[in-house]
Amino acid sequence: MVQANPEPFGDEPPQAVPARYARGWHCLGLSRRFRDGSTRSLSAFGSRLAVQANGQDQLTVRLEPGKVEQELPSLEQDGLLYAWHDPQGAEPAQNLVIPRLRGGTGLDDDEDREFSAWEWKETTLSAGTGQVLEHLVHLADSRHVTRSEQLYFKNVFDGQLATQYFEGPLHHSYQLQDPAENAPAIELADSVASYYGPAVMIAQLDYVLEDRSLDAVVLTAHYPIDAKHLVLMTGVMVRTGHPPAPELQTAACGHAAQILRSITGAVRAQLDDAAATERQDEPADSHPVAALRRWYSQFFVDTQDITPGMTERYEYEVDTTMPMDLWTRSSARTLILRRTNGKQLAS
């Protein structure tokens, strides 16, 4: 059963069920919230994480299992703080890099005004990592996301990267709740979303409106509290141009906030759906869900135990554009013939 926002854990570390936590980069949230001059403590990986800014204003992340502290490799980028977790204690993998999303160079990238500021939401779920990742194969055809069948959908799992390609109309919940008079609606979405390892997904989105397009970046990430709970985070930035007009920045924030609410709601609804039918029937080996489970299993074993089946390239594609085009042309031809025959019969 997936539950959102369960009871807080209090001051004591959670009582974790013995588990293997994933190897990879994990986002801990907006970096500015850790810069209040105090040490921030998070429940994570069945223990505690301590985050503190040092004298050079750099953030350090320490894992506190019992009485032994271990400093974790960390990364500040695009105004976000990431920590690398590896049960074997190895340094970050060179072939697994979180891509930079902005052109700014500051800690919070304040000098980059091409995008709106992050709109950010966090929620605690009673769920496992696998349930969150599986929305990569389910989310695009979920009734919570599309208002009808998608036009194009593809999954590609290759190495340490898992990608979803999606094109189609959006559910009405993705529209602005209080649009201005005659405001354009979002007609179509074109999305490329990739998991960089087990816990960080970045989606590049192109929304086609009635009169223009809107580019957005959506980051969906999580870190485990213990074996049965995790923190799910969703952040949205909207491209505003450089320099942005004040009214465009305001409009971008409105779009970002609505996209954020919609995606967070869709993920939670998808998790609820998955919990109701969780693994009642194991999918066939060739099914995208089975392929995704093989792919993310590589992050829960020692590196020497990774098998080719976990990392070899897998593709699954659904393209309805050609069938829809053929159907449209066939329907048009049928209507023409009916009209022609009707006139002939009438004469």
Report pLDDT for 307: 95
Report pLDDT for 10: 43
The pLDDT confidence band at residue 284, using thresholds 50, 70 and 90, is low
Provide the total of helices (H) and of strands (E) in the chain, helices listed first: 6, 15
Spatial separation of the C-alpha atoms in residues 229 and 44, rounded to whole Å: 9
Report pLDDT for 1: 39
Q: Where are the beta strands (DSSP E) in 110-259?
A: 119-125, 152-158, 161-168, 186-196, 200-209, 213-226, 229-238
pTM over 0.85: no
Range in 41-50, 88-97, 170-179, 254-263 the model is least confident about: 170-179
> pLDDT of 191-246, one tens digit each?
898 999 999 999 888 877 666 677 888 898 999 998 888 898 888 888 776 666 56
The pLDDT confidence band at residue 294, using thresholds 50, 70 and 90, is very high
First to last CA, the chain: 68
Q: Of 82-91, 174-183, 212-221, where does the model show the most confidence?
A: 82-91
Residue by residue, DSSP assigns 26-86 as EEEEEGGGG-SSS-EEEEETTEEEEEEE-TTS-EEEEE-STT--EEEPEEEETTEEEEEE-
Residue with structure tokens 């050079």? 56
Report pLDDT for 129: 77
Q: Are 46 and 19 in contact (CB under 8 A)?
A: yes
Spatial separation of the C-alpha atoms in residues 229 and 201, rounded to whole Å: 19
166 has a pLDDT exceeding 70: yes
Work out the mean pLDDT of the chain and round it to a whole number: 74
281 has a pLDDT exceeding 80: no
Q: 62: closest CA among 49, 80, 46?
A: 49
Q: What are phi and psi of 214, to 5 degrees?
A: -135, 120
Report pLDDT for 139: 53
Question: The tokens of 53 are what?
Answer: 């800014």
> pLDDT of 111-139, one tens digit each?
556 787 888 888 888 777 777 777 777 65
Report pLDDT for 162: 94
Spatial separation of the C-alpha atoms in residues 235 and 238, rounded to whole Å: 10
CA 267-218-86 angle, to 5 degrees, is 80
The pLDDT confidence band at residue 146, using thresholds 50, 70 and 90, is very low
Spatial separation of the C-alpha atoms in residues 273 and 266, rounded to whole Å: 10
49 has a pLDDT exceeding 80: yes
Spatial separation of the C-alpha atoms in residues 207 and 11, rounded to whole Å: 43
Report, as an integer, the average pLDDT of 302-327: 79
Report, as an integer, the average pLDDT of 295-301: 93
Question: The tokens of 89 are what?
Answer: 């204690």
